[in-house]
Amino acid sequence: MSTTSQAKPPPDLETIANDLAALKQDFATLIADVRASTTGRASAMAYDAAERISDTASSLYGQATAQAEAGAKALANEVDERPLTALLVAFGIGFVVSRLLSR
C-alpha cells in the first residue's frame, strides 16, 4: 500500500513539474529570440556604418578629384603663360632630385 502511493507523485507535484518544464522551454525560446534579435540589430548597425563610410569616402574622392583637376588646370595655365620659367623650374627640380639619388 505504501509502495503504490510513493510510486505515483501527487497531482499537484506533477502539475508543477509540467509547468517547470514548460517554463524552461519558454525561457530557452526567449533566449534564442533575444540572440537572434541582437544579431539582427548588430548586422543592421554594421551595414549602416559601412554605408556611411562609403558615402564619406565617395565624397572625399570627389573633392580630391576636383582639387587635382583644378591644380592641373592651374599648372597648365602657368606653363602656357610662362613656358621658359616652367622649363627652368622643371630642370632645377630634376637636377636636385638626381643629385639626391646619386648619393
pLDDT in tens, 46-103: 888 899 999 899 999 999 999 999 999 998 998 899 999 988 999 999 999 999 998 7
User: Do 78 and 86 touch, CB atoms closer than 8 A?
Assistant: yes
List helix spans (H) across the chain: 2-7, 11-81, 83-102
User: Do 70 and 77 touch, CB atoms closer than 8 A?
Assistant: no
User: Do 13 and 6 touch, CB atoms closer than 8 A?
Assistant: no
The pTM assigned to this predicted structure is: 0.47
Q: What is the pLDDT of residue 29?
A: 85
Q: What is the pLDDT of residue 97?
A: 93
User: Cα–Cα distance between 99 and 103 in angstroms, integer?
Assistant: 7
User: Do 48 and 56 touch, CB atoms closer than 8 A?
Assistant: no
pLDDT of residue 10 exceeding 70, the answer is: no
